[in-house]
Structure 1
Amino acid sequence: MALFDLLGRSWAMGVIWNLNRGPCTFRELQTRCNMVSLTTLNSRLKELTEAYLIERCLEGYQLTSSGEELFSLLSPLGKWSGKWAEKF
């Protein structure tokens, strides 16, 4: 339940989804996340880092191996949700 609580927070899955495209700086990640507020992005980065899903790197932030594994599990759900959304 702790993981679902974390992933249910504003922009948590968006950060993971966008970091799957590769490492990026804070500003680039903010742009990728449609200009999420600085406060929200800072909070999610802190929480996801503490959960060992993302980490700091020379390029800014990147997924850890656990974060990459989590993305691989979420990716089929993303594909399914796209099909589901087309019905509406």
Structure 2
Amino acid sequence: MAAMDLFGRRWALRIIWELRAGPLGARALLARCAGMSSSVLYQRLRELSSGGIIAPSADGYELTRLGAELGDALRPLGEWAATWAQAQEQDDRGPAGA
């Protein structure tokens, strides 16, 4: 439940998502997360660092081994979300031939 609490905090998963391809500094993270305040960013960075999900690096912040493994764990959820999004689009278009 502690992990779900951490990941459920606003912007936490977005920060993890943005770090998936490699390290980023705080300014780059703010630029990629339009609408996030710097105070929230730094709070989430502290929380995710304390949780062992990210770590400071020479280039800003990067995923730890556990953080990278989280991406692997979330991959099935991403696949489900893509299927769900397609179903939503089909529902929005209405029945075939309508």
The two structures share one fold, judged by TM-score above 0.5? yes
Which of the two has higher C-alpha Rg?
Answer: 2
Query: RMSD value over aligned CA atoms?
Result: 1.1
Total equivalences in the alignment: 88
1:16 CA displacement: 0.7
TM-score with structure 2 setting the length: 0.84
Give the % identical residues.
43
Residues 1-88 of structure 1: matches in 2 within 5 Å? 1-88=1-88
| Structure 1 runs not aligned, ≥5 long | none
| Structure 2 runs not aligned, ≥5 long | 89-98
1:31 CA displacement: 1.4
Structure number with greater CO (CA < 8 Å, separation at least 6) is 1
1:60 CA displacement: 0.2
TM-score with structure 1 setting the length: 0.92
Separation (CA, whole Å) in 1 of partners of 2:30 and 2:79: 24
Name the aligned partner's letter for residue 52 of structure 2.
Y
